Chain A
C-alpha cells in the first residue's frame, strides 16, 4: 500500500482567450500523503483554484492541462486518471459560495442523495435515509425536517454543511476545499473547520485546502504550499513555514496580516500588484515586488530547492531574508 494518494507533476494549465492564450498555472508539482491536509495559499489570480479544480477535472471549457496527475484509488500506487474516473469515486470538492454551488431547484435531501443514487444505484427511499444520516454526521440539527427544505431556506453555515454532506455522500478519499469558509462569520468558520478536522480524522480522508487566509490554513493543515503567479514558491510543514519563512513572498504575506497582539507599527503590505498572466516577468516572478531582489533574480530559472527535509523554496537568495518581526 502506497502512502501517497495524489501526485501532481509539472501541472500546466493553458486557457484559450480567443485572441491569445495564457498559462495561469505554470509547472506546479506536489504530492499528498494519505490522511494528510495540504494548504495552498496565495492571492487572487495566483492559480490556486485552477490547480485545485484541475485535480477533479472541473476546468472551464477551452482549458488545456499538461503534466501528470496521479491518484491512488484503491490503496495501490497512484496512477494517471481521467476526470470521469474520480468524480463521485474518490474525490469530492466543496466551494466557497454554497448558495451558487447548490442547485436551488432541489430539496436539500434530494441534493445530498443524488450522488449515492447515481454512483451506487440507491433507490429514492434509501437515498433519502442516507441523506438524513449524512446531514446528522455534519451536525445539521433536525435533519429529517431540514432534508425537505430548499437551499434558500438555510443559513450560510447550514448551506456549507449541506455542501460538505453532498461531498461526503460518495465516500471520497480526497476532499478538495476551495475557500469554503471565506464567506462565513468567524464563529461559523470555526465550526466548519472543526467539522472538517473531525471528518478527516474519523474517515482518514486527505484534504487539499485552498485559501488566501494563512491563519485558517494554519489551523487545519499539516503542510503548506505558497503559490505566486502560477507557481509554487515555497512548501513545508505549516509550523515551520510560519516560524521561519524561506521565500520573500511568504514573508511579505505574513507581514501583511494584522495580528491580535498590540497594534503598534504599520502593516507592511506588498508594493505593486501580482503580474499579469499575459506577461509574466522573466526569472523569479516575484522579483519586481521583492525587497531583497538582486540582479540575478530576473534571470535564474524557477526551481524549488530543498532547504531542509520536507522544506523547499524557489528563492535563490533565501539567506538574505530578515524574518518576520
Chain B
C-alpha cells in the first residue's frame, strides 16, 4: 500500500438557494466539485496537480487535508484511513501552504508568536525549546532570524510565502500540500521558493502535492502529474512522459496554449476553444467532448475512465493510446 492513498474521493456542495428548492419541492442543486479522484503517492514523492480554475484541484487538496468533508471515497495515510473527524495528531501530518501569503497570515501576530502558538498547541517541543525551534524553522526556510519579531506586513511577498511554509513545517508534517504557492510571486522570487520546496522534500522526506495552473512550474517540482478537468482526473503519468508525449487531448491543448519561453508561436491557435462547461450542467459521456478535437460518437455515450498500458501511465480518453497525432 502506498504512503498516501486517495481512493475515489468525491466532494459535493449544495449550491443555490435552499429555500427556492424547498418551495419548488425539488432537492437542492448539488455541485460535484471532485468526482471520484484516485491517486497514490509514495513517501518523498512529489505529485503535481494541474487544471483550469474551477476544475476542483483546490477542493481536492482541502478534502485530503480535512478542511472539506468528503462525500464518498477515502484517504489513507501510511495504511490508516483518515476520516472526517481527525484528532490533532492526524491533522498535523498533512499541512497546506496557501496561494496568497498576505491573506493567510495573521497580520497582528509576529512571526515568532505565530510559530510559537503552533508549537505550543500541538505540543511539538517542550515549552523551553519553543524559541530554539522557531529559530530552526527560520533557518529551514532560509529566512534571517532577525525577522522573527516582525509582523507580516514588514515582509516581502517571497518572505511571507517562506513564513507560510515555515508555519506548515512547524507541525512536522509528512505530507505538504502547496496550493498555487508561487502563483502570486514574481519569477525571480518564485525560483528560490521552488528550489526550497524541492530541497525540503529531499532533506525531510516530505511527500509533496503541488497544485498549480502553470505547467512549467509543475514540471519543475513534480515526479508525477495528475491533470484534472471538471472534477475528474483525465491523465495521471510520470512528469517526464507527460510533458514529452501527452496522451489526453485536454493535456495536449493545455500545453499548446501555454506560452513557452524562447519558442515563438502564434497565440490563439491552440486547440482549446471556449470555456469549460458549468459543473452543474455536464455534457453526456466524456465531459471534455464539447471542446475536444477528437470527439466521436462513442464519446457522447461512454464516459472514459483512466486506463493505459500500465498502472502508472493512464489517461481517460477513448483515443488516448490509439490516436497518434492531434493537430
**Interface residue from B194, B215, B258, B268 paired with A194 (Cβ < 8 Å):** B268
- Any A CB within 8 A of the CB of B20: no
- The residues in B between 194 and 247 inclusive whose CB is less than 8 angstroms from any CB of A are 194-195, 198, 213-217, 219-221, 239-240, 243
Tell whether, in the assembled complex, residue A43 and residue B253 are in contact, meaning their CB atoms are under 8 Å apart.
no
Interface size class of B (residues with CB under 8 A): 35 or more
Tell whether, in the assembled complex, residue A43 and residue B257 are in contact, meaning their CB atoms are under 8 Å apart.
no
Which of B186, B189, B240, B260 has its CB near the most chain A CB atoms (within 10 A)? B186
**Which of A57-65, A66-74, A251-259 is the contact stretch?**
A251-259
- Any B CB within 8 A of the CB of A322: no
**Interface residue from A43, A190, A197, A266 paired with B186 (Cβ < 8 Å):** A43
Tell whether, in the assembled complex, residue A253 and residue B187 are in contact, meaning their CB atoms are under 8 Å apart.
yes
A49 to chain B, nearest CB (A): 13
Contacts A198-B268, A219-B267 known; A190 to B259 CB distance under 8 Å?
yes
- The residues in B between 248 and 263 inclusive whose CB is less than 8 angstroms from any CB of A are 253-263
- Any B CB within 8 A of the CB of A189: yes
Tell whether, in the assembled complex, residue A258 and residue B216 are in contact, meaning their CB atoms are under 8 Å apart.
yes
Contacts A185-B213, A257-B216 known; A197 to B262 CB distance under 8 Å?
no
Which residue of B has the minimal Cβ distance to A239?
Answer: B264
Tell whether, in the assembled complex, residue B190 and residue A256 are in contact, meaning their CB atoms are under 8 Å apart.
yes
Which residue of B has the minimal Cβ distance to A269?
Answer: B191
Tell whether, in the assembled complex, residue A194 and residue B269 are in contact, meaning their CB atoms are under 8 Å apart.
yes
- Any A CB within 8 A of the CB of B120: no
Chain B residue numbers with a CB within 8 Å of A149 are none
Contacts A157-B275, A185-B52 known; A257 to B192 CB distance under 8 Å?
no
Q: In the complex, A267 Cα to B239 Cα: how many Å?
A: 18
Tell whether, in the assembled complex, residue A218 and residue B261 are in contact, meaning their CB atoms are under 8 Å apart.
yes
Tell whether, in the assembled complex, residue A195 and residue B194 are in contact, meaning their CB atoms are under 8 Å apart.
no
Tell whether, in the assembled complex, residue A43 and residue B259 are in contact, meaning their CB atoms are under 8 Å apart.
no
Chain B residue numbers with a CB within 8 Å of A254 are 261
Contacts A157-B275, A220-B267, A260-B215 known; A269 to B220 CB distance under 8 Å?
no
**Interface residue from B195, B255, B260, B275 paired with A188 (Cβ < 8 Å):** B275
- Any B CB within 8 A of the CB of A81: no
Q: In the complex, A252 Cα to B273 Cα: how many Å?
A: 35
- Any B CB within 8 A of the CB of A308: no
Tell whether, in the assembled complex, residue B219 and residue A268 are in contact, meaning their CB atoms are under 8 Å apart.
no
Contact with A along B153-179 (1 / 0, CB 8 A): 000111000000000000000000000
Which residue of A has the minimal Cβ distance to B222?
Answer: A263
Which residue of A has the minimal Cβ distance to B250?
Answer: A187
**Interface residue from B253, B256, B261 paired with A257 (Cβ < 8 Å):** B261
A189 to chain B, nearest CB (A): 7
Which residue of B has the minimal Cβ distance to A267?
Answer: B191
Q: In the complex, A239 Cα to B265 Cα: how many Å?
A: 12
Chain A residue numbers with a CB within 8 Å of B266 are 194, 197, 219
B40 to chain A, nearest CB (A): 21
Tell whether, in the assembled complex, residue A256 and residue B187 are in contact, meaning their CB atoms are under 8 Å apart.
yes
- The residues in A between 228 and 280 inclusive whose CB is less than 8 angstroms from any CB of B are 239, 242-243, 252-260, 262-263, 266-270, 273
Contacts A186-B254, A219-B264 known; A273 to B156 CB distance under 8 Å?
yes
Q: In the complex, A218 Cα to B219 Cα: how many Å?
A: 21
Which residue of A has the minimal Cβ distance to B182?
Answer: A258
- The residues in A between 170 and 219 inclusive whose CB is less than 8 angstroms from any CB of B are 185-191, 193-198, 212-216, 218-219
- Any B CB within 8 A of the CB of A44: yes
- Any B CB within 8 A of the CB of A2: no
Which residue of A has the minimal Cβ distance to B278?
Answer: A155
Tell whether, in the assembled complex, residue A186 and residue B195 are in contact, meaning their CB atoms are under 8 Å apart.
no
Contact with B along A133-175 (1 / 0, CB 8 A): 0000000010000000000000111100000000000000000
Q: In the complex, A270 Cα to B192 Cα: how many Å?
A: 8
**Interface residue from B156, B220, B221, B253 paired with A187 (Cβ < 8 Å):** B253
Which residue of A has the minimal Cβ distance to B253?
Answer: A187
Tell whether, in the assembled complex, residue B53 and residue A185 are in contact, meaning their CB atoms are under 8 Å apart.
yes
Q: In the complex, A159 Cα to B150 Cα: how many Å?
A: 39
Which residue of B has the minimal Cβ distance to A157?
Answer: B275
Tell whether, in the assembled complex, residue B253 and residue A191 are in contact, meaning their CB atoms are under 8 Å apart.
no
Tell whether, in the assembled complex, residue A43 and residue B188 are in contact, meaning their CB atoms are under 8 Å apart.
yes
Chain A residue numbers with a CB within 8 Å of B189 are 43, 269, 273
Chain B residue numbers with a CB within 8 Å of A215 are 258-261
Contacts A44-B157, A185-B53, A269-B195 known; A219 to B188 CB distance under 8 Å?
no
B240 to chain A, nearest CB (A): 8
Closest 6 CB pairs of A and B: A194-B268, A269-B191, A193-B267, A267-B191, A215-B259, A190-B257
> Knowing that A196-B267, A218-B261 are A-B contacts, what are 19 other residue pairs whose CB atoms are under 8 Å apart, sorted by A's residue number?
A44-B157, A185-B213, A186-B214, A187-B254, A189-B259, A190-B272, A214-B187, A215-B260, A215-B261, A219-B264, A219-B265, A242-B262, A255-B191, A257-B187, A259-B219, A260-B243, A262-B240, A266-B195, A266-B198
Selected A-B contacts with CB under 8 Å, 22 pairs:
A43-B186, A43-B187, A43-B188, A186-B52, A186-B215, A187-B272, A190-B270, A190-B272, A191-B272, A191-B273, A193-B267, A194-B267, A194-B269, A195-B268, A197-B267, A213-B187, A253-B188, A255-B191, A258-B191, A260-B255, A267-B194, A270-B188
Q: Which residues does B use to contact A, with CB under 8 Å?
A: 52-53, 156-158, 186-192, 194-195, 198, 213-217, 219-221, 239-240, 243, 253-270, 272-275
